[in-house]
Structure 1
Amino acid sequence: MIPFNHLGWFFKYLGPVAYPKGAIEALCDFLRPVAANAPLLDLGSGTGVLSEFAYSCRKDFAFVALDPAEGMLKFSPEYVRTHTARAEALPFEASSFEVVLIGEALHHFQSPERAMAEIVRVLRRGGRLFIYEFDPSTFMGRSLCIAEKLLGEPGHFFAPEVLKEMLEKHGFFVSVNRYGWRYTIHAELN
Structure 2
Amino acid sequence: MLDHGPGDVRFFDRVAPLYDRLMPAARAAPLADALAVSRRPVRTVLDVAGGTGRAARTLSGLVGGADPDDEVARGRVVVLDRSREMLRVARSRDHECVAADAGHLPVPDDAVDAVTVVDALHHVRDQRALVREARRAVAPGGVVVVADFDPTTVRGRALVAAERHVGFDSVFSTPDDLARFLEREGLEGRVVEPGFGYVVVGRVPA
- TM-score, normalised via structure 1 length: 0.87
Alignment match of 2:75 (pick from 58, 61, 83): 61
Letter in 2 for 1:3: F
Letter in 2 for 1:35: P
1:70 aligns with 2:84: yes
Question: Which runs of no fewer than 5 residues in structure 1 stay unpaired?
Answer: none
Q: State the alpha-carbon separation in 2 of the partners of residues 179 and 117 from structure 1.
A: 23
Query: 1:71 Cα deviation (Å)?
Result: 0.6
Q: State the alpha-carbon separation in 1 of the partners of residues 110 and 124 from structure 2.
A: 21
Question: Which runs of no fewer than 5 residues in structure 2 stay unpaired?
Answer: 5-9, 65-73
Match of 1:45 in 2: 50
Note if contact 1:63-1:79 (Cα within 8 Å) is conserved in structure 2: no
Q: State the alpha-carbon separation in 2 of the partners of residues 91 and 80 from structure 1.
A: 17
Match of 1:82 in 2: 97
10 and 55 in structure 1: CA distance in 2 versus 1, 3 angstrom threshold: same
127 and 178 in structure 1: CA distance in 2 versus 1, 3 angstrom threshold: closer
Q: State the alpha-carbon separation in 2 of the partners of residues 179 and 115 from structure 1.
A: 22
Letter in 2 for 1:5: D
1:102-156 deviations in Å (ceiling 9; x for gaps) = 1111000001111111111211111111111110111211221222133232311
Alignment match of 2:138 (pick from 115, 123, 133): 123
9 and 148 in structure 1: CA distance in 2 versus 1, 3 angstrom threshold: same
Alignment match of 1:136 (pick from 151, 165, 168): 151
Match of 2:18 in 1: 10
Letter in 1 for 2:196: W
Match of 2:165 in 1: 150
Structural RMSD (CA): 2.0
Match of 1:28 in 2: 32
Identity, in percent, stands at 26
Following TM superposition, the consecutive aligned residue runs of length 4 or more in structure 1 with deviations greater than 4 angstroms are none
79 and 187 in structure 1: CA distance in 2 versus 1, 3 angstrom threshold: farther
Query: 1:67 Cα deviation (Å)?
Result: 0.6
Q: State the alpha-carbon separation in 2 of the partners of residues 89 and 105 from structure 1.
A: 16
